[in-house]
Amino acid sequence: EHGKRILDLAEQARIEIGNLANLIGGHVTVGASTGPGEHILPALITQFKAAHPAIQVSLWVTDTQEVIGRVLDRELELGVVGALTQSKDLTVKPFARDEIVVVCAPDHPWAKRGQITFAEFLAEPLVVQQPGAGIRAVVEERLKERGIRDRDLNIVLEMGLNEATKQAVMAGAGVTYMSKFAIRTEVAQGTLAVVRIADFTITRDFYLVHARNRALSKAVVAFLEFLGSQYDKL
């Protein structure tokens, strides 16, 4: 703990020197889970760069648990994730509201129905993402509230993250659940269809996270403030 405190003080001194040297520049390293990392942040980073051209932003995309681990290990200054790990060492702020929907291929019998029953969802062949994916953690928690475990689902494939899961569903392996942000392009193109479960809606927040006692540069603070202003706009 003492060694960590010394590192925090050294980092704060480095940041303060950097702030004095370049008040409008700097570098932000951000990690994100696949939902926000692939489908929300690229456009927002572009907008931020237009307003702050001297600030460099590096985006690293992986699953939620990996992002949180690297934020806590101080390998990343900021994380954007879709599920949380309880930790007193994290500062957390909601970033965007998401809805998780059931997704199927356009030739699936559900595609033209728009709504299914909970029992139908439990029985249908299901493609899920890898352990550690934020969306899987959120859905499993909601299902647990209804007394449903993985063994009660008809899981036929466990894929990686969003893109691998989409491809399996398009190929007819089964249905899946996914963030509404992650499938906007495919729905518009007609390569995937959205279905909702009657009386079972899942919403979640995406969160901004950073290490609680870590000193933040002016560049990181500016980026945090910009992202925080987007909650009602996405």
Do the beta carbons of residue 209 and residue 78 sit within 8 Å?
Answer: yes
Tell me if 22 is assigned to some domain: yes
- Asked if residue 14 and residue 93 are part of one domain, the reply reads yes
Tell me if 213 is assigned to some domain: yes
Instruction: Say if residue 229's pLDDT is above 50.
Output: yes
Radius of gyration of the chain (CA): 20
Residue 24: the pLDDT is 61
Do the beta carbons of residue 126 and residue 150 sit within 8 Å?
Answer: no
pLDDT per residue over 32-84, tens digit each?
998 899 999 999 999 999 999 999 999 999 988 999 999 999 999 999 998 88
Domain range for 25 is 2-97+205-228
Tell me if 233 is assigned to some domain: no
- Asked if residue 50 and residue 84 are part of one domain, the reply reads yes
pLDDT per residue over 81-114, tens digit each?
988 877 899 999 998 899 999 999 999 999 999 8
E-strand spans in the chain?
A: 26-32, 55-61, 78-81, 90-104, 115-116, 126-128, 155-158, 176-179, 193-197, 202-211
pLDDT per residue over 140-171, tens digit each?
999 999 999 999 999 999 998 899 999 999 99
221 vs 19: which has the higher pLDDT: 221
Tell me if 73 is assigned to some domain: yes
CATH number for position 81: 3.40.190.10
